[in-house]
Amino acid sequence: MESQTLEHTQPLALAQEPRNPGMALDLDWVTGVQANTSAIERRCATLSARRSVKKDYQAAWLLKAVTCIDLTTLSGDDTEERVRRLCAKARQPVRSDIMQALDMAPITTGAVCVYHEMIPAAVKALEGTGIPVAAVSTGFPAGLSPFHLRVAEIKESVKAGAKEIDIVISRRHVLAGNWQALYDEMKAFRAACGEAHVKAILATGELGSLRNVARASLICMMAGADFIKTSTGKESVNATLPVSLVMIRAIRDYYDRTGFRVGYKPAGGISKAKDSLVYLSLIKEELGDRWLQPDLFRFGASSLLNDIERQLEHHTTGAYSASYRHASA
């Protein structure tokens, strides 16, 4: 992981990645997928047990993490002013004095993620920046509203200016093994998104087993998902390393078979800078450097940025500041 240094943390000039068009439902592939839980847990235990990267290497990887954050506010008390402050933080996620001390050019977060009602305020606040607005949709977080309303919600969010749509799948289809229904649902959601990219939220903490996580991941990719995402952040169990490893390997298998890269987004419970380093190392080792760019990897987070900025200030000054000095909104 220490190959990344400060001068190489800016997003690369990448060719436009071909969008995943999906494929016909292959039930033989889906039902043949298994998950060895003990082996998965042993693999994940090796990640957090390693000595973390230090000094300039750590700063470089933390800056990389910042560029992959979907800076998020999904609260019932959200206001347009809160969203505008969040967008200002997305435009300048790390204080200018810290960036100057690191001798780095400005960076931005990967996106800003909000509820549908807040899309216009976010779009206006981010105008001219190139930072996309992502909107949660399809009856987020439970996904239990009438199907036609979920499809209509997607279309309304795209019309309002969202460039990315985070949809939630119907967990009951996974728990019942109704793979055709899940595939058809995901296909309809993808079609409703049009040119907007779609992230399929699996709500992995509610799927019952790692095998179900693997199978649901494949189904969503077969139906055309641009990203697969762990959680809404509202479940009792959100992103974990075992779940992430299962989903990442499903992405790798899908790429090996189809040649199309699908993105990955862990969300919920990732709030510490050291945790972001573990996830980045997992991506690098399992998928390779190409997936370390924000068009293929995102963190769904709000407080993570605060801790990263605090760690970067410590790197430049040698002292830790109070966390309230790095509020994201």
Which positions are annotated as active-site residues? 166, 229, 265
∠ CA 187-189-193, rounded to 5°: 115
Burial class for 111, CB neighbours closer than 10 Å (0-12, 13-18, 19+):
buried
Contact status, residue 313 vs residue 304, Cβ threshold 8 Å: no
Report the distance separating Cα 300 and Cα 232, nearest Å. Answer: 9
From the number of C-beta atoms within 10 Å of its C-beta (0-12, 13-18, 19+), residue 101 rates as middle
Displacement of CA 172 from its chain's centroid (Å): 23
| Separation CA 305–CA 329 (nearest Å) | 11
**Exposure b/e, 57-78, CB count within 10 A at least 16 = b:** bbbbbbbbbbbbbbbbbbeeeb
